[in-house]
Amino acid sequence: MFEASIRQPLVEGNKSIADVSNDICAPIENKPTKLWWLGFTLSFAFLMLMVLSLGWTVWEGIGTWGVNKTVMWGWDITNFVFWVGIGHAGTLISAILLLFRQKWRMSINRSAEAMTIFAVLCAAQFPLFHMGRVWLAYWALPLPNMFGSLWVNFNSPLLWDVFAISTYLSVSLLFWYLGLIPDIATVRDRAVTKARKFWYGFFAMGWNGSARTWHRYEIVALILAGVSTPLVLSVHTIVSMDFATSVIPGWHTTIFPPYFVAGAIFSGFGMVLTLLIIVRKVLNLQQYITIGHLDAMTKVVMLTGSIVGVAYLTEFFIAAYSGVVYEQYAFLNRAFGPYWWAYWTMMSCNLLAPQVFWFKWARTTPWFIFMLSIVVNIGMWFERFVIIVTSLHRDYLTSSWAMYSATITEVGIFLGTMGLFFTCFFLFSKFLPVINMSEVKSIIKSRE
């Protein structure tokens, strides 16, 4: 195979095919480490916090939140958009980079896709529980009913969201599972315990690596990547329409769809970096998830961060240029009103901070990237908070202006979804191969 000499190898350490299986199956075949138990226990505790806070919300009502008639969307929709955005990096890595034939995706796509699925699960909690009567959530679906056939409203972007998010979740799951099948078969054939043989055998669906199956498999992977790409772009576009189709100053802009998609990829890569820097250390996978991978991802962060930054400035300019006083006021209020701290946190975390990645040192130093990725996560959370809360709390009618602050229940739910996310991720890292073995085997340089 041709190898360009200026490129770093995608997998380091002169791995043989057998080494790949050995290294990556190790966490599955061995007892979990103390560090794993510690992380899992902690995450599970936070998950219980979510159960508790949501339980309290259902029992007592939405009154336990800080939202009011003016600011009717608070932390819940902020968190919803935050989590959906995080999911986007996974699909970008597995689908868009597949279409662009970027081979560096191969050792990170599995965990990034897992992240997508878990993040969308977390996101789904918020609109569901914001409905108040969560047991009636199925009313959001177009089901035949007894109310004289009262259907859902297809003019509403909130309903588009129902379709977009559920399609996104299920297609991502399918794509992820399809990629897992050959690796599950590997674990099955290496298994020594009966339970492992049975369960991995069950989910491997009789995979035996036949060339004919591989032929079809590659076609399916390509088609799924092809449909996932417009899907992922549509999902955040539709999320942005939740805002853009309204007439609230600060929301009613046409820049929202591309701006939200770029922001989603930005925040998603922030989270991928946070996770993978931990994973490569804890599971000892530095030779698979190399500095080269981190370098490539930080470049994406820098690019999308800059796009988001340009969008912030454009919004401001257009508001001034439009001559609409409400629009002008909304933006001045963002920057210098009572929530100025949120606005400037957003600006410094998203526009300024990623610019350090122009320097090679910053792109290749894991601890530094880790810190920056946390900054990106914080910044993107604040972006959604700024968009939602500052636009709502002072709109056209001065008599209805209000302030909003989250209650402990809302904080509990948010921290709780972190618990849900990490609990899922820890279970995934114990029971499934965190790196796509079959793909990595096809790109390692020296075969034994």
Positions 151 through 180 that interact with other proteins (CB under 8 A): 151-157, 159-160, 163-164, 167, 170-171, 174-175, 178
The residues near 260 (Cβ < 8 Å, ≥ 6 apart) are 81, 85, 236, 237, 239, 240
- Cβ at position 33, least distance to other proteins in Å: 6
The whole-angstrom separation of Cα 135 and Cα 334 is 37
Q: Which of residues 283-302 bind other proteins (CB under 8 A)?
A: 284
Which tokens belong to 118?
A: 């878990």
* CA-based nearest residue to 301, from 57, 49, 140, 88: 88
Nearer to other proteins, 54 or 444 (CB): 444
Q: What does the alpha-carbon distance between residue 3 and residue 359 come to, in Å, rounded to a whole number?
A: 27
Contact window for other proteins (CB under 8 A) among 27-35, 133-141, 339-347, 355-363: 27-35
Q: Which is nearer to other proteins, 190 or 299 (CB)?
A: 190
Nearest approach in angstroms of CB 215 to other proteins is 4
Q: The tokens of 367 are what?
A: 């601890």
CB atoms within 10 A of CB 409: 20
Using the rule CB under 8 A, is 317 a contact of other proteins? no
Backbone angles phi, psi at 52, to 5 degrees: -65, -50
Instruction: Look up residue 144 and give its amino acid.
Output: P
* Shortest Å distance, C-beta 245 to other proteins: 10
Q: Rounded to the nearest whole angstrom, what is the least distance from the CB of residue 161 to other proteins in the complex?
A: 9
CB 149 → other proteins: shortest distance, Å? 6
- Comparing C-alpha atoms, which of 271, 214, 215 is closest to residue 92? 271
The site string for other proteins over 233-262 (x = CB under 8 A, - otherwise) reads: -x---x--x---------------------
Question: What's the token pair of residue 115?
Answer: 């992240």
Q: Which residue has the tokens 């299986």?
A: 21
Nearer to other proteins by C-beta: 363 or 441? Answer: 441
If the CB atoms of residues 210 and 405 are measured against other proteins, the closer one turns out to be 210
218, 321, 338, 359: which one binds other proteins (CB under 8 A):
218
Q: What are phi and psi of 31, to 5 degrees?
A: -70, 145
Does 210 participate in binding other proteins (rule CB under 8 A)?
yes
Which residues make Cβ contacts (< 8 Å) with residue 347, sequence separation at least 6? Answer: 312
Between 210 and 348, whose beta carbon lies closer to other proteins?
210
Among 59, 101, 148, 398, binds other proteins (CB under 8 A): 148
DSSP state at residue 138: G
Q: Which of 8, 22, 41, 246 binds other proteins (CB under 8 A)?
A: 22
Closest by CA to 294, choosing from 312, 276, 278, 267, is 276
Query: What's the CA gap between 228 and 219, in Å, rounded?
Result: 14
Q: Which stretch binds other proteins (CB under 8 A): 68-76, 127-135, 226-234, 305-313?
A: 226-234
Q: Which of 3, 5, 30, 194 binds other proteins (CB under 8 A)?
A: 30
Q: What gap in Å lies between CA 429 and CA 114, rounded to an integer? A: 10
415's CB contacts (< 8 A; 6+ apart) are: 46, 49, 50
Query: Which residue, 99 or 313, has its beta carbon nearer to other proteins?
Result: 99
- Residue closer to other proteins (CB basis): 198 or 358: 198
Number of residues located near other proteins, criterion CB under 8 A: 83
Pick from 352, 269, 254, 304: which is nearest to 90 by CA? 269
Residue 228 sits in the site that holds other proteins (CB under 8 A):
yes
CA dihedral 71, 75, 79, 80 (to 10 degrees): -40
Least Cβ distance, residue 409 to other proteins (angstroms): 32
Stretch that binds other proteins, among 63-71, 128-136, 202-210, 328-336 (CB under 8 A): 202-210
Could you say which of 193, 254, 398, 399 contacts other proteins (CB under 8 A)? 193
- Contacting residue, 47, 204, 294, 301, with other proteins by CB under 8 A: 204
Measuring CA to CA, which residue among 82, 118, 416 is closest to residue 239?
82
Residues 408 to 437: which contact other proteins by CB under 8 A?
437
Under the binding rule (CB under 8 A), the answer on residue 29 touching other proteins is: yes
Q: Based on the shown chain and the rule CB under 8 A, indicate whether residue 149 belongs to the binding site for other proteins.
A: yes
